[in-house]
């Protein structure tokens, strides 16, 4: 279904990184793009640059999201907003668990609840859920994040079942490491963070993820790209550890 068949898109977490890149890419397709994030200043700059319509709303504000969904019929929904508090689950703070569940999972479920029924009624729509390789693979230190992203992965699968028989497509985009400022947001604004996670690596950029999303949206209506995993060529998931008692 080409972009010309769609009229409006909603992108969450749109103020920076992958979200802002998606907004820029969608605006080039001449559809009405609504950009949602908490940062009003960054959204205004994005609006001036792209012509998008900014909404300074927290994705956990259910009433504000419901009001927005009641005012617009969104044909494309990109659930991109997300947070992380890297920590082993044995050391997890209750506030961190609540935050990750509220932003990464609960908000996605409620936004889909508010937007997807309209797509079904119109027999037209595309849901893009940005998850992570953390939702499909195990690696240490991010247990709550893994759990919430896995939940969105399963939600994506279930949405395809619940909308079966209608031209509503659902795509899960699973990025690995991408060259964005997310590492500073998560680990702190320190020059060593960029050196640790970005400098010297060959990484995809936010614009590359946006181009991949544009590809799946512009695919023929008969084609649904259900799952797309995007990682650096020089990144691999997996590994096996075996410990003797008392070694760890």
Express each pLDDT in 105-146 by its tens digit. Answer: 999 999 999 999 999 999 999 999 999 999 999 888 789 999
Closest CA to 26 of 13, 17, 35: 35
Please give the pLDDT value at position 244: 86
Please give the pLDDT value at position 246: 80
Is residue 189's pLDDT more than 70?
no
**Per-residue pLDDT averaged across 92-103, rounded?**
96
State pLDDT tens for residues 158-185. Answer: 999 999 999 999 999 999 999 987 665 5
**Residue 166 carries which DSSP code?**
S
**Per-residue pLDDT averaged across 202-225, rounded?**
96
**Residue 90 carries which DSSP code?**
G
Furthest CA-CA distance within the chain: 62
Query: For the chain, what is the mean pLDDT?
Result: 93
Is residue 238's pLDDT more than 70?
yes
> Residue 213 and residue 204: Cα distance in Å, rounded?
14
Residue 27's pLDDT band (boundaries 50, 70, 90)? very high
Q: In percent, how much of the chain has pLDDT > 90? A: 80
Please give the pLDDT value at position 37: 98
Please give the pLDDT value at position 196: 73
Q: Write down the CATH number for the domain with range 3-230.
A: 3.40.50.720
Known catalytic residue at 205: no
Is residue 1's pLDDT more than 90?
no
Considering the candidates 6, 137, 145, 205, report the single residue annotated as catalytic: 145
Distances (CA, A) of 221 to 78, 130, 170: 18, 21, 12
Is residue 34's pLDDT more than 80?
yes
pTM: 0.93
For the sheet with 8-12, list strands across it.
53-56, 32-37, 8-12, 76-79, 125-130, 168-175, 227-230
> Residue 230 and residue 209: Cα distance in Å, rounded?
8
Delimit the domains of the chain by residue range: 3-230
Please give the pLDDT value at position 188: 54
> Residue 39 and residue 214: Cα distance in Å, rounded?
24
Please give the pLDDT value at position 243: 85
């Amino acid at each position: 279904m080409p972009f010309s068949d769609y009229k409006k898109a909603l992108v969450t977490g749109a103020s920076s990184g992958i979200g802002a890149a998606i907004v820029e890419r969608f605006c080039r397709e001449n559809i009405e793009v609504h950009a949602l994030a908490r940062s009003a200043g960054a959204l205004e700059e994005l609006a001036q640059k792209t012509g998008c319509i900014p909404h300074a709303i927290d994705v956990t504000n259910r009433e504000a999201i419901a009001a927005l969904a009641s005012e617009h019929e969104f044909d494309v929904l990109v659930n991109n907003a997300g947070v992380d508090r890297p920590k082993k689950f044995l050391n997890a703070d209750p506030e961190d668990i609540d935050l990750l569940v509220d932003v990464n999972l609960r908000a996605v479920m409620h936004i889909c609840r508010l937007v997807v029924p309209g797509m079904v009624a119109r027999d037209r729509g595309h849901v893009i859920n940005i998850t992570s390789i953390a939702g499909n693979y195990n690696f240490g230190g991010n247990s709550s994040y893994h759990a919430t992203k896995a939940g969105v992965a399963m939600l994506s699968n279930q949405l395809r079942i619940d909308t079966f028989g209608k031209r509503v497509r659902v795509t899960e985009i699973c990025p690995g490491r991408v060259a964005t400022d997310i590492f500073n947001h998560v680990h702190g604004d320190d020059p060593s963070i960029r050196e640790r996670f970005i400098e010297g690596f060959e990484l995809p950029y936010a614009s590359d993820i946006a181009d991949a999303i544009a590809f799946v949206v512009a695919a023929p209506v008969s084609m649904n790209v259900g799952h797309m995993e995007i990682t650096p060529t020089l990144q691999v998931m997996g590994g096996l550890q075996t410990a003797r008692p008392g070694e760890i």
